[in-house]
Chains A and B, each alone.
Chain A
Amino acid sequence: MNRWKFTLLAGLCAATLASGFGNAALAGKLEDVLQRGKLIVGTGVGNPPWHFRDEKGDMAGFDVDVAKIVAKGLFGDDTKIEYVNQASDARIPNLVTDKVDITCQFMTVTAERAQQVNFTIPYYREGVGLMMTAGGKYKSRDEMKAAGAGVTVSVLQNVYAEEMVHYALPEAKVDQYESVDLMYQALNSGRADAAATDMSSLQWFMKQNPGKYVDGGYGWNPQTYSCAVKRGDQDFLNFVNIAFREALTGVEFGTYSKSFEMWFGVKPPEPKVGFPEELR
């Protein structure tokens, strides 16, 4: 481990020297970004309502809106963002190798990940739900649980995927897919009896295809979503945290609230005026 760290450090030193702008690199991320005039945001493209390209070809979704809050805080202009398209497994590597300033890509906060990147304060709490085709073999989670090992569930590729499905359906067979559209395709083609994924994505999809699908009527597995920045720059992390805190509780709440309602169909609870409740 020590040797690896040494190699990494030596590589980084060489990188700093070779790039010839040692001073700029020492000044800190916040200064770098301000000087550059745009924020480089790492996010995905194929997962509405989180991050996707809308019909005009612009980036849209809740993750994108959250990134815009940071850009607005930096430059007073939420369009000064360069999006770097990354797969879920590139979220941490792209931060570590400075390909992006910040990653906002429905990233679940875990202690293991926190050893590799710095997480900001959370902006959403997700849960998992089940979705079946309307008129399909099973109508609810209870029916599927009773059917036991005969049930196949399609799910987005994830380290915790098996464990996650088995919490709700202990005997079900779990098929993992690389993207949400493939997962839904498995459900449509009958390869899977149900799709298990984030409640937000299911709700969004059911809204787009009214009458074609049914909700399994069960939600579980809370997970916290945060943006992440490269480890070791507390100053930049503080800045992003403040921008988010004020979006959740302060002057930017209107922006956050509008976006929340647009993607999830409900309004978030208003912050109470008077004593700052989050400190109680």
Chain B
Amino acid sequence: MEHFLHELWIARWALAQGLLLTVEISAASILCGSLIGLLAGIGLTYGKWPLRLPIRAAVDSIRGIPVLVLILASFYLLTFAGINLTAVESGLFALSIFCGAHMGEIIRGALQSIPVTQIDAGRAIGLTFPKILIYVLIPQAMRQIMPVWVNTGAELVKASTLLSVIGTGELLLRTQEIVGRNFMTLEFYALCGFLYFLINSVIERLGKFASRRFALQ
């Protein structure tokens, strides 16, 4: 134990950096992904077919590709299209579109479950479609979206570990670096797992807090 604490003290900054990068990348890609997902979900539900078709194709193909392949493709394949992203950038890109595709489908489902009569009711009191979306549809959809969104967020934090394969210095890679030096495999991987658990329980708490905001009284 003393040996572990000593090694932990030596590794404290490396671990802190990794944790920070994991939180940053996760937060940024959840944010970007949710925005993409919102637009995709609205497009899928209310768009005409020329809009719906390309979104459907993109959402389905991204959801059908493993995240690891998406990450490797953003890092290597985009180079041949003249876009040379760094490891962090391509990781952000891959996780954002991954999250966006999933959120798009979740938001489409939530919006479609709202009775069409709600739109009619909105029209009857003279609201334009964007206003119907903001004041009538999205608040009702949020109730369904919130729990799944929290789940997607937690999945994304876990998926961020895959960025270690392209050399993004996030928590898992930092842990691997430390283990590579001191060979304390069990101790540091356990700590790493615990830190991921902590991040995800914070997300869950925040999600519960936000869910209450949209709950029916």
Contacts and interface: CB of A to CB of B under 8 A. Distances in A.
Contacts, number: 81
Interface string B173-207: 10011111101011000000000000000000000
B177 A45 contact: yes
Nearest to B78: A97
| Contact size range, B | 20 to 34
B169 interface: yes
Contacts of A53: 14, 177-178, 180-181
B81 A11 contact: yes
Contacts of B80: 8, 11-12, 14-15, 97
B135 interface: no
A19 interface: yes
B173 A45 contact: yes
A55 interface: yes
Given A11-B81, A97-B79, A85 B180 contact: no
A46 B79 contact: no
| Contact size range, A | 35 or more
Given A57-B13, A90-B166, A185-B185, A45 B180 contact: yes
Contacts of B83: 18
B165 interface: yes
Contacts of A85: 87, 167, 169, 173
8 contacts: A14-B81, A15-B82, A52-B177, A53-B177, A84-B167, A90-B166, A181-B179, A205-B183
A159 interface: no
A205 B165 CA distance: 25
B180 A46 contact: yes
Given A12-B80, A15-B82, A179 B181 contact: no
Interface string B68-85: 000000011001111110
A97 B81 CA distance: 11
Nearest to A51: B180
Nearest to A43: B167
B10 interface: yes
Interface of A: 8, 11-12, 14-19, 45-48, 52-55, 57, 84-87, 90, 93, 97-99, 179-182, 184-185, 205, 208
Contacts of B87: 84-85
B82 to A, nearest CB: 3
Contacts of A99: 75, 79, 84
Nearest to A7: B80
Residue of B14, B75, B177 with highest tally of chain A CB at under 10 A: B177
Of all A-B residue pairs in the complex, the 3 with the closest CB atoms, nearest first, are A46-B180, A18-B82, A85-B167
A15 B85 CA distance: 13
